[in-house]
Structure 1
Amino acid sequence: MHVVLRKFITWGVALSISLVGLGMLSQNAEAQQITQAQIEQFRQLPRAQQEALARQYGIDLSMLEGQAGSNTEARQDPATVEARELSDTQSDYEGERTGSRTDRERETEAEVKPFGYNVFAGRPTTFAPVNNAPVPGSYRLGVGDTVMVQLYGQESISHSLVVDREGRITIPRLGPLTVAGLSYNELKELVRNQVSTRMIGMQAAVSMGELRSMQIFVLGEAYQPGAYTVSSLTTISQALFASGGVTEIASLRDIRLMRAGEMVTGFDLYDLLIRGDASKDRILQPGDAVFIPARGPMVKISGEVVRPAIYELTGNESLDDVIQLAGGLLPSAYPDAVQLHRADRGQRSLRTLDVSSQSALSLAMQGGDEIRVPRISEVIDNSVSIVGAATRTGSYEWRSGIKISDFVKSPTQDLQADADLNYGLVIREDQQTREMTVLQFDVASALRGDMEHDLRLQPRDQVMFFSRFEKEYRRALAGYGQYASNPEEVRPVEDGEEAEQRHEQQFEQDSEAQPIRTVRESEYTPNSRTRLLRSVLARLSSQESSDASALFVRISGEARFPGNYPLVENGSVADLIAAAGGLKESAYLARAEITRTLIDGGNAMTDYLSFNLLDAITGVERVDIRARDHLSVFRIPEWQDTVQVELTGEVMFPGSYSVRRGETLIDVVERAGGLTQHAYPPGAVFTREEVKEQERQRVAQLARNLRQELASISLTEGSRVGNYEELNSLLSDLQGTEPVGRMVVNLESILAGDRAQDLTLRDGDSLYIPNQLNTVSIIGEVQMPTTYRYEQRYSVSDYLARSGGTKRRADEERMFIIRANGEIEPYHQQRGWFASSGRMQLEPGDTIVVPLDSTYREPTQVWATSTQIIYQLAVAAAAIARL
């Protein structure tokens, strides 16, 4: 008795301390200091004593009553399985299913993988049991299970009762009850009956608390076979997850539940994975073993099915069963020619099956079979395609008797604003020979219903509408470049001219700013002849043979869009000119010429056919064209495009002048009223675009040479850093130098009537006449480069002395004078008795240049040449800058 009392006092002290801690920490909800066993003992005290203790220590009694339930409900199960990588041979079905149909089409047969293995691909991290899963009514109680009993009625009492080793729970004031082996539903019924019968005025609510753990075995082809401690609610599939899934050779269709050496049930995982049927996913019992045998025969299905994969057979599947395992055929599948590859008696065989028939679907499958479901053809036979400059392009249904005007009724509603109303094509393919023929029509006439041009269409015809403009006018090219490609390649359009005045103006502006260069594909309009005809011409070129020439023709000269075009049926010169966008204003209408190649007796002969171009266009004379004909449209004799020349500076009427071919510099100066009285003809600056381009190319070549010098210096062991830095600085100066294009002219001699000094003008030429100059400049390697007032009595040496003399790196042996008109004269210092008589006479506007000694560091010819060019361009640019 004393021992019991001493234990109770000891427990009371411990409980009091815990309750004090609970009271102090109740604000932070930290009640973990009281164990579950202490709470249960507290609940066994009479209600009055519970309330007294709660009042004494300031504890909310409801907190203790809900402690056990909250511990169970709030507990979060730790993760027991984490993902692991699959081997290349295992299934990647999820990725395939979420991929697009186009991605699946690009997959090779080797990428089709076994089905279902990735679902159970995990790596076990802990053996913690699952505690928050709902308990089914059929669950059998065992030793270690916790039963929660809530009594309510006259008073409210909660009990957390653990099934002891004898299979019983003890309810205070009610006594022990044997519950081991009962189902959860039977337990609830038993407790409710006992409470209502033996405790007057009381009723009971029963639930399950923490469930017991048990040991089971996962054996065979498991990822990590062995014994596992799991929750008593664990099923076959959960055991597979806990063991990390299965190996690459495991069977998914013959999972066996073994109990006491006997097979309890088999589990086909395909039922769960494909149909979601978990009826055979049994709850395990302590000591059960989940056995995973090696997989059985496999069959592979690929192509146009929902789930292409490798599937396991159970031994009696038919072709229809395999197709259903793969989710069935896609709408794009072609069922009439399904291929079955089979290995039989050491040989491979192939069968083509029509799976729309029952006999083919009932064919029994064998291990190693490969089924390939092909895709239907993408070609739509009963369609007509509209491409190009139409507002609604795409494919449309073909009907008998349909015409072009049935698709395009209004030029404003059905065609784009830039559509060419004079030229359209129908691309037609022969159904038997697959050869292409081309028909041409006038779009405007077709819209009016003209039977000659409103062509009747056939299935798979392609109707093309073109833009009036060949190139994007905002990115118009300088000059008329040729389309960049192999000379032997068929080139549809080589050059072009804008059709409307605003495009021509933009073209001229861009031409002045850019050099002649190659036309890029991106600079053509989306519906240009170049872009739309490229594939057509390539197809026609591929039809060329020894029996037939390639069906395209060529037009050059004064056409708006010269180049290669398809030869249309019954084509004429008028058709070809319409295809080329018409003629330029400069076209010579009295005569044109066709160059034709004839084959006679195995020899090729060239024939020339001249005709009146105006008659051919107006229909007075029909001139037919043949394959590979070349139509040349000549320019009007003496026709010259507008040539503009710019006169600025000291002329009576400066401005831009249009000149005729053959006019010279003196002619345009006289038209400008001559020079003013302040003009200084020796300092005239004449520039030409061609010379500017030559300067640009020369500077670019020198820059490349300098880069090579830099690379050589950087790779040479022991090179001086100073050489590299100076060359790099020179390269930067050279790259920043803008070409001027100055030509040396002797304007004084030209004005004096010396025709030998005069020159014929070209487009873009410019003449600048400065006013009276009275200065001499000195630049380069001098102490103070500057400009001085010209004094006739001063020599070169005098100006050098006034600039502080030359620097240490100056090359005095290569000094030169740039005259006001751009001429260059070398200067050689005269020393000794004859220095005064042999000195060079300077003139107003001259520039003394003291170059850098190229041998000062590392000798390089590129250095000397580059510095001289920079000085020349700088002087010319300074002269023009006076404008």
Structure 2
Amino acid sequence: MKKIFIVIILFIALCQTSTLSAQDILKGKDLSTVRVDLLSDEDIVKIKTQLESNNMSIDQVESTALSKGMSAGEFAKLKNRLATTATLDKTNAKNVNSDNEEGVRKQEAVGNNKEKDVANSFVFGSELFDNPNLNFQPNLKIATPVNYVLGPGDELQVSVNGVQEFNASVPVTVEGKVNIQYVGQIAVAGLTIEVATQKIKGAISRIYSTVRSGQSQVTVSLSGIRTIMVTIIGSKQPGNYSISSLATVYNALFLGGGPGVNGTYRNIELIRNNKVYKNVDIYRFLVSGNQSDNVGLKDNDVIRIPAYTNRVTLEGAVKRPGIFEMKKGENFSHLLTFASGFNEFAYTASVNVLQKTGKEFKVADIQESQYSSYVPLNGDEYRVSKILNRFENRIIINGAVFRPNTYSFYEGMRVSDLIKQAEGLKEDAYLKRARIVRLKEDLTKEIVNIDLATAMTGDATSNIVLKKEDVVTVYSVLDFKEEYKVTIEGEINRPNVYDYQDNLTLNDLIIAAGGLTGSASKRVEIARMIRSEEIDDSNPNKVELFNIEITPDSNEQLTNFALKPFDIVNIRRMAVIHKPEMVTVTGSVIYPGKYVLAGKKEKIYDVVKRAGGLTSLASLNGVKIKRPIKKGQIEDLENIDLNLGEKDSIQNKLEKRLKDEVKFATIPVDWGKVIKNQSSNANVTLLPGDEIDVSPFNETVKVAGNVLLTSEIPYNKNKGFNYYLDAVGGLDAKGWRKKAYIIYPNGEAAVSHKVLLFFRSNPKVLPGSQIVVPEKPETEKMSAAQWVSIASVLVSMGVLLVTAIKP
């Protein structure tokens, strides 16, 4: 008994408010009787809060707790409980926002995996139970319903506020009672929350005198909702479900996946105490949003979904086609209501139905007058067709009227009436003829021609009566005119093809084409087509040519030549006109920059001389010309067939390299020859866009490619090609020695070549040169089998030879 009293005292101590520190609780007189398993989760949270408020951890108070009699096992349990609470806090952190507000109820989460109803996908209402966002789950944050009946598992929040304070969360026990401290047990099971509140207030007022006097107030609220058990039969996922006591029929049906393949949507039974309590018709909710059938559930309720009695199919031009369930007494008009009625293209005068007679199929037509009386039969298939793609009163006019369009036809309409409706004839209308395309009775078309001028005067012969679907065409005089053009080319700012108008002259055309260019000459050639009714074999000319002279400085010519349709005008270019063209000089010259070519055959020596000549640091072997590759050169290469085969890509790679990579062609210049003799072929004639590049003197020789070390070696005039290869360690495993070449500073290249038998002549090395060793091409090694084959062939040839020379 004493130990129990100590445990109670310790429990009360652990439940004190957070104003006490963790040391005060753990410094009790005797902690040997503490049993951590008896502490609630709220007690553990309070201890954790007290430790955090004092900036202490559980490890820091371990020695104190053990010295006061707490066993190491109990302390380990306490430490583990605190750690578990911290983990739970982190896991539930995302739900703390509004759910921790005072007064929000707790409820065990209930859910079910949703599966797409493939079998019933066309049945009206099946999508209601496939949508995970529509679950009819009760809202736990609303005020407590006054008619809510309490039962075991519910939890009440009882508070006394005022002079006396009290706050406790009390569960309803399995016996249906709540146990309130100092008040005792109160039976509340089977009572509504309103009646239970009054009963609890009366019991508390007998203990708390301030409640009786009104100095303190009592509030009772539902803080935790119990879970009830319901059974669902006939659903896609039948079974027993534990759901909230606030749940409704639709919530339970959603958890069960809705009616099964053959389940009814119109007569679902809610069975309570072995009796049908409610017949649920889901169509009331689907069609009009009426939730009167969505009643609350009670423990041990059964939801039974029987098989349907009458289902029909409605397809075609309705707003919501599908399979619908019909109840006794409903007609075809109700079916149209379920489908939201006809759509805008529906033929509404009658509906075709395919019926089953028990022996065979039967086709019937329901007239519009029968919609409210016809009773659909089980298995009926209704098809609503579309209206015909034709018009009952259409007539069309197009052509030279102000408003060509489709108009409404009426009996007795004539040609003049339709033209008046189209705002009348245009000025260019052709009055001698109009055409009517008419549909005959055999559905073939005929053309009716009328005199439009007499028709507009009201003459009955021409102003005929029209028929529906007639297409009236009013011609324009412009339709019969050829579209005339003239062409101007040559030294004109906007050469092009222009429209011809009557009285068009050369001056008019020149102005329309933007005027003459500055290089236009006085000579103009005009070509005119020859028109004749007779063939003149003696005249070899195909066109008639006119050569005239104009004043190039003026767009207004004194001789204003009159043009005719399809004339071609060519403005000739001046015989002598040269715009200044330039070349560029870079590198080691006195005055680098751009220079104009002064002569028709300007030489490199002349331009370098104008640039001040070479500097003292220039390399005489480093003069070269970089000439841009022109588009015509690439086109010439494309037109050459190298006969390499269709699959060979050598020519394609060469063309691509010239287009994308190589921008200039390098012309090496032997400057020594140029200085000695300006008339030598080394003194190259320059072209516009050329760049003369003079390299500075370089005392090294660069060695690159497939060598062991890419490097620059000081130039030694007494050493040759092999010296520089040896100076970088020689060739690597892939180096191709016999194809090694040298590039001189002026861009010229040289390669070693065979002189006699195994002797090779290497090119001379100059300062600033670059030696390149290429990579050997990969060759496929012969296999042992290939060598054996070759050997066998040689042996066979030897045997044949011996046989042949034997006497």
Q: TM-score if structure 2 supplies the norm length? A: 0.49
Choose 1 or 2 for highest CA Rg.
2
Q: Which structure has more helix as a fraction of its residues?
A: 1
